[in-house]
Amino acid sequence: MCSLSTYAICCPQHARLESEFQKARDRMRDLLAQRKLSRAEERRLADDVAMAIARLKRHVAAHGCERQ
């Protein structure tokens, strides 16, 4: 297990997946704050966030790397 200071170096894939999740979450938050979204738009954005979370969880389960 890596220390937090060297985490991105130890597992760049985990860092990338975390970044993808954060970007999807932020994109959804930003669009919701800007305007009223259609149900289809909101569902697509929520699916993007859910898929990013699922990819990150799958990676953690497969590789055992996780922030502490």
DSSP state at residue 21:
H
pLDDT tops 80 at residue 10: no
pLDDT of residue 4: 46
- List, for residues 15-56, the tens digit of each pLDDT value: 999 999 999 999 999 999 999 999 999 999 999 999 999 999
Q: Which residue has the higher pLDDT, 64 or 50?
A: 50
pLDDT category at 2 given cuts 50, 70, 90 is low
pLDDT of residue 37: 92
Q: How many CB atoms lie within 10 A of CB 12?
A: 10
The runs of H, that is alpha helices, within the chain are 7-10, 12-34, 39-63
DSSP state at residue 35:
S
